[in-house]
Amino acid sequence: MTMITETAIEADPNLPIIRITRDFAATPEQLFRAHSDPALFAQWAGPNGTDTRIDHWDARAGGSWRYTAEHRGQVFAFRGCFHDVRPDRIVQTFTYENEPDSVALETLRFEDLGDGRTRLHARSLVDSFEARDGMLASGMETGVNDGYAKLERMLADGTV
Amino acid sequence: MTMITETAIEADPNLPIIRITRDFAATPEQLFRAHSDPALFAQWAGPNGTDTRIDHWDARAGGSWRYTAEHRGQVFAFRGCFHDVRPDRIVQTFTYENEPDSVALETLRFEDLGDGRTRLHARSLVDSFEARDGMLASGMETGVNDGYAKLERMLADGTV
């Protein structure tokens, strides 16, 4: 199986969904930890130069989370609830607090490829194609690519 | 404005969404209470003859809920988390526990029509048209219609 070493960010043609796919030299357990442990998540999420502060984080089905991200002097706040927290899957809601009426349903899936490699499948479902295309146009690509590059380094140096 | 006294259940042609619209002789506050107070919700939800038991219910942003519904000797369990609980809007996730990988994002909106009337806009967003059409084919219509008829009686007799 070919490794997806570049991050693939795709807009579904028929559904208001963004799909992100990325392979890591990591076990599913490591990717689960990187996404569920707040101290680890804060170290890699977002574009380079982001200072992520966890306000609240209760990673269990029925728990909730909130964090702020400071980047180039601006502070952005995000929040949501955890619907599912399983070793192979995290399902959560996601809102950028400046747009409180917009809610995405996010699903993270950790697919074991064997040989210490895992494919991350991340999916954001929203309620309109306009909202989905707005997310894609917002510069999310830089945050996603920078974030996964940081995560890759943390996996390589044993932080995760 | 014409009252929508029959419940309208509509499949969006372009999005994996079910929309339900229904007018009630009620204030937005009453409809909010009927959907957020577990003791009230348990009295009207589901088809006639349903015995709803609240297992857990914490109606605040970041809270969660679970209930079981016994109907004709069968027990069905449902659970989710509350993303938003506002006087005009409730956003929550929804899973039928026998299909644990299926998650819907539900939005309830209470639109004040004046004169003690309120329009309920309920929306379920799922991740495929197959899942959406499966929900419609599952007999949800009876549950929705019976439930709102019970709610209407509870509004008329002062229970809500």
Average pLDDT of each block of 10 consecutive residues along chain B (160 residues)?
A: 78 97 97 98 97 98 98 96 98 97 97 97 98 91 95 97
Q: What are phi and psi of B30, to 5 degrees?
A: -65, -45
Give A65-99 pLDDT, tens digit per residue.
Answer: 999 999 999 999 999 999 999 999 999 999 999 99
Q: Out of A17, A62, A103, name the one closest to residue B64 (CB).
A: A62
Q: Out of A62, A79, A83, name the one closest to residue B103 (CB).
A: A83
| Strand, helix or coil for residue B28 | helix
Inspect the interface and report whether the beta carbons of A95 and B82 lie closer than 8 Å: no
Inspect the interface and report whether the beta carbons of A83 and B91 lie closer than 8 Å: no
Q: What are phi and psi of B3, to 5 degrees?
A: -75, 135
Please answer whether residues B137 and B131 qualify as being in contact, where contact means their C-beta atoms are separated by less than 8 angstroms. Answer: no
Beta strands in chain A, from DSSP E residues, in sequence order: 8-11, 17-24, 51-57, 64-71, 74-86, 89-96, 104-114, 117-125
Chain A positions contacting chain B at CB under 8 Å are: 14-17, 56, 61-64, 66, 79-84, 89, 91, 93, 95, 100-101, 103, 105, 107, 123, 125, 127-129
| Strand, helix or coil for residue A11 | strand
Global ipTM = 0.94
Inspect the interface and report whether the beta carbons of B128 and A15 lie closer than 8 Å: yes
Inspect the interface and report whether the beta carbons of B125 and A125 lie closer than 8 Å: yes
Q: What is the pLDDT of residue A139?
A: 81
Inspect the interface and report whether the beta carbons of B125 and A107 lie closer than 8 Å: no
Give A9-32 pLDDT, tens digit per residue.
Answer: 999 999 999 999 999 999 999 999
| Strand, helix or coil for residue B99 | coil
User: What is the C-alpha separation between B7 and B151, in angstroms, rounded?
Assistant: 13
Mean pLDDT of chain A: 96
**CB neighbour class for B147 (10 Å; exposed up to 12, middle 13-18, buried from 19):** buried
Q: What is the pLDDT of residue A1?
A: 58
Nearest CA in chain B to A105: B105
